[in-house]
Structure 1
Amino acid sequence: MKNYNLIIVFSILSFLSVKAQNKETNYKKKVLDQTEMKLLSSYYSQDGENASVSGGIGSEELTDIASTIVVAIPLNDDDILTIDGSISAYTSASSSNINPFDGNQPADPFVASSGASRQDVWSNVVVSYTHSSDDRNFNWTGNVSFANEYDYTSIGFGGSVSKLFNQKNTEIGLKANVFLDQWSPQYPIELRNGLGKNLLPKDDGGKFNLSNYIIEGNQEYNISFTNFDNLNRNSYSLGISFSQILSKKVQTLFLADFIFQDGLLSTPHQRIYFGDIEDSFIENFQLANDIERLPDTRTKIAIGNRTNFYINENLVIRSFYRFYTDDWGINSHTAKIETPIKIGDFFTIYPMYRFYTQNKADDFYLYNQALSTAKYYTSDYDLASYDAHQYGLGFKYYDPLGKFNLSYLKLKSIELEFNAYERSQFNYTANIFSLGFNFTLEK
């Protein structure tokens, strides 16, 4: 679940990003002349056969419909209040199998259960305040956020500062954020005997009992399971950026991000199967030997570069590269190229390609290969070694004069984007369609 959330969130941020160029004038220009509103909707689907909820085997089929609204309100010449709200509703075959025995068909990791955990809603809101200096060479932003899903709640706060100098050809930025999360664990159903009815899912009424089922294979299924004591997860991030206009046709930006996490970094509903213990089954579903257990700290470092090349008035090449490393043993490389092509005065198309590669985490094990003697283990294939390719095509209509109006809303732009994603080593694919509108609010 965290993988697709991550994909959706990054797609929305990329889709809504706006690049602006300040021009020196003889008067103090407002940072934002009118209230702006952006509307974005997206449809995301994925499929695969290495579901982490069922220990690295099973359907990863998932669909998600998300909507985002961003309203930027100029408070005066220098200050802007921005409210960013998102909501997404998903249906997941993988998460449905937290309890695979609550459906009307035999339990099977490749078949979605019909219980309540098959679907949920994720919601998020971010409120930020931005102030710019009179000469527009310095600005700062503060933000607070709240997010909620069926198994966790998160609050966050942070801020950023940026400074322009060298006749606005150079910019240095600094940002920091803190996220404080609280898990509401949804352990695999077969491990909950003895943990108390308060941990049983809402849809089973506290009636699940292993003794009511026929266990095949290892019939001496008697797991000594312990739940997590610490249910907090904290994330602290620091980002540094340096941008430089090298010439009339080349602009570059260097980025560095440092993230430290502590607390419950394991996902409580992701099963583990031990290769040195005989397997136990109910119907077609293998019973968990344990849940994912990972270190309670993680340090991440990423450095990257974005460079834009202006070829002519109709063509720009945008390139991106990032190197990532963490103390869980993952090193990754990301490369992306995007080529906006202007067609006429109002239309732009932008094909894009992204390549990603990573090695596996130290504690990753393929399905049914973890050992009961290990301290840490996971079969989350997001932590496996793989290469990934993403192909995209976008279309933008831009109307600076706002010829099309909807009551008090004047249309500035429309964007339509499609991306297809695949992993080379595994049968995993994903697609996302995004549609966005940018309006100004007429007084």
Structure 2
Amino acid sequence: MQLKLKFNLLVFFAIFGIFSVSAQEQVSEENAYKKRVLENTEIDFLTSYYSQDGENAAVSGGKGTEELTDFTPTIVVSIPLNADDVLTIDAGVSAYTSTSSSNVDPFDGSGPADPFTASSGASQSDTWANLNATYSHSSNDRNKIWTANFSVASEYDYFSLGFGGSFTKLWNDKNTELTVNGNVFLDTWNPIYPYELRPFGEHGKRLGDALFSRYHITGNAGYNPVFSEFTDKGRNSYSLGFNFSQILTERMQASIALDLVQQSGLLSTPFQRVYFRDIENSFIEDFQLADAIEQLPDNRLKVAAGGRLNYYLNEIFVLRGYYRFYNDDWGIQSHTASLEIPIKLGTKFTLYPSYRYYMQTAADYFAGYEMHTSSEEYYTSDYDLSRFSANQYSFGVNYTDIFTQFHLWSLHMKSIDLRYLYYKRNSGLKSNLISAGINFIVE
């Protein structure tokens, strides 16, 4: 893993160096004044609070509470290196508390083990952290833009490295735009298995383990799950995207996009239980012991195509429409459609009401609680892979201070954005998201 990290860092800084040399050469060719891509350093302070609840937790095999809360503060700093080049640093931390993930070990709490009750153990909460760096170079005529990016993210059970880049070409007096981008993510799992399965791993004590000595098994006392530890702990993702945008009239702009993603490696989530209908149930207290863990293919190809259409009605109203079709080789097809209507109130305030509809088919390997059989090769009871439809409603408000009159020391406020989002699936999952962002210019 250290060799991979060193290699990726070398690639990133090599790309960075090439772009820097190119920028210096082009600047030396044109000494006349030209408008900078970014006039001053800008800082965005972002935060969000997310909560959800439902009764189909994948951790407990398709039943049990899905209650979760997440708080995510993020800071984004965009730094103009010269007239043509911008470096953007994006750093964030996500701190969550999850009733469902606490039941990876449902036996470490003070009360009886139950899929609808949170365990108070260490798996109840965790912190995810990420850092992204993006370098952007624009040509002298601003008709070509190159970017290179590098990212790193870490959580208790995985570590991820990512790198990539993009190229954008504008022509026809900047009315036409084409962007091509590619990214690679190299992830490494530290597999965490359901607590009752760990004694059945390699060199395990099976039913002689302390867990089964401490608790009495009811139902099938000869508990013998289908379980072996994963040997492949890596997951690689490769993406390629195309976006074409065209200004059609003075009032209308349209764009189309195509995205391809290839994944390989450990695509199963190690701590998600599965229960078979042809195996007698075993319990400790009120918690059903896992018959197996999720097993999914080690390859997945995703294809998505979509388009946007923006129409300027008048100085107050704009219509923003969006549609996306998705298909993968696990059997999922989905449709997404949304409409946003920005409403401009004077020169400073804009309202953002929007609606989004989503529906998908089920993956070939999905079945609900106790609907799989032990003879199947692949199986999951993760309702994210089930057939469902969802409605999402959101409302936002943006305040823009075009003269940046309000300031804190050398930070001059440019804009404030607040947004609320409500999401509901027909399977019962509901969620709420409140987000806020403040943009400052450093002078």
Task: With the length of structure 2 as denominator, give the TM-score of the two structures.
Answer: 0.91
Q: How does 1:188-203 map to 2 (within 5 A)?
A: 188-195=194-201
Are 1:245 and 2:247 an aligned pair? yes
Aligned letter for 1:354? Answer: R
- Counterpart selection for 2:131 from 122, 125, 142: 125
What's the counterpart of residue 351 of structure 2?
349
Measured in 2, the distance between the counterparts of 1:60 and 1:224 equals 25
| In 1: Cα distance, 2:33 partner to 2:310 partner | 30
Partner letter of residue 345 of structure 1?
A: T
1:349–1:208 Cα change, 3 Å = farther
Task: Report the counterpart of residue 321 of structure 1 in structure 2.
Answer: 323
In the alignment, what sits opposite 1:184?
A: 190
Task: Report 1:21-420 matches (<5 A).
Answer: 27-195=33-201, 208-420=210-422
Q: Percent of aligned pairs with the same residue?
A: 57
Q: Is the 8 A contact 2:201 2:227 kept in 1?
A: no
- Residue 219 of structure 1 and its aligned partner are, at CA, apart by 1.1
Q: CA deviation at 1:225?
A: 1.7
CA distance in 1, matches of 2:154, 2:388: 30
Equivalent-residue separation in structure 2 for 1:120 and 1:208 (angstroms): 26
Opposite residue 78 of structure 1, the aligned amino acid is: D
Q: Which runs of 5+ in 2 are unaligned?
A: 1-31
Q: Give the counterpart letter for 2:231 in structure 1.
A: D
CA distance in 2, matches of 1:303, 1:274: 37
Identify which range, 189-198 or 287-296, moves more after superposition. Answer: 189-198
Q: Give the Cα separation in 2 of the matches to 1:312 and 1:101.
A: 61
Deviation at 1:363, TM superposition (A): 0.4
- In structure 2, the partner of 1:441 is 442
Q: Distance in 2 between matches of 1:173 and 1:86?
A: 27
State whether residues 202 and 229 of structure 2, in contact with CA within 8 Å, keep that contact through their aligned partners in structure 1.
no
Question: Which consecutive aligned stretches of 4+ in structure 1 deviate over 4 angstroms post-superposition?
Answer: none
Q: Taking structure 1 as reference, are residues 71 and 269 closer, same or farther at Cα in structure 2, changes over 3 Å only?
A: same
How far the C-alpha of 1:293 sits from its partner, in A, is 0.1
**Alpha-carbon distance between aligned partners in 2 of 1:427 and 1:335, rounded to the nearest angstrom:** 21
**Residue 209 of structure 1, CA deviation:** 2.0
Residues 406/36 of structure 1: CA separation in 2 closer, same or farther (3 Å cut): same
Gaps of 5+ in 1: 1-25, 199-206
Once the two structures are superposed, residues 19-53 of structure 1 have per-residue CA deviations (whole angstroms, 9 ceiling, x without a partner) of xxxxxxx9511000000011111000000000000
Match of 2:389, as an amino acid? D
Question: In the comparison of the two structures, how many residue pairs are matched?
Answer: 410
Q: Is residue 49–residue 70 contact of structure 2 (8 Å, CA) maintained in 1?
A: yes
For the 8 Å contact 2:43–2:442, the answer to whether it is kept is: yes
Aligned to 2:16: none
How many angstroms apart in 1 are the aligned matches of 2:387 and 2:410?
A: 51
CA distance, structure 2, for counterparts of residue 208 and residue 235 of structure 1: 39
Instruction: Give RMSD over aligned pairs.
Output: 1.5
Distance in 1, Cα, partners of 2:378 & 2:220 = 24
**Alpha-carbon distance in structure 1 between the residues aligned to 2:402 and 2:342:** 18
1:384 and 1:211 map into 2 onto residues whose CA distance is 37
Aligned to 2:17: none
Shift in Å at residue 400 of structure 1? 1.4
Q: Which residue of 1 aligns with 2:20?
A: none
Distance 2:175 2:114 in 1: 59
- Residue number in structure 2 paired with 1:23: none
Distance apart, 1:208 and its partner CA: 4.6
Deviation at 1:102, TM superposition (A): 0.3
Give deviations 1:293-349, integer Å, cap 9, x for gaps: 000000000000011100011111111100000000000000011000011110010
Residue equivalent to 1:11: none
Report Cα offsets for 1:339-397 as digits up to 9, x if no partner: 00011110010100000000100000111111100000000000000000000000000
TM superposition shift of 1:83? 0.1
Cα distance change of structure 1 residues 235 and 208 upon mapping to structure 2, 3 Å threshold = farther
Asked whether the 8 Å contact 2:200–2:228 carries over to 1, the reply is: no
- Structure 1 counterpart of 2:21: none
Greater helix proportion: 2
* Superposed CA offset, 1:155-200 (max 9, x none): 00000000001111100100000000000111000000043699xx
The answer for the alignment partner of 2:19 in structure 1 is none
Deviation at 1:224, TM superposition (A): 4.4
Indicate conservation of the 8 Å contact 2:200/2:227, yes or no: no
> 1:211 deviation in Å?
2.7
Deviation, structure 1 residue 213 = 1.1
Rate the CA distance shift 1:180–1:299 in 2: closer, same or farther, 3 A.
Answer: same
In the alignment, which residue of structure 2 is the partner of 1:427?
Answer: 428
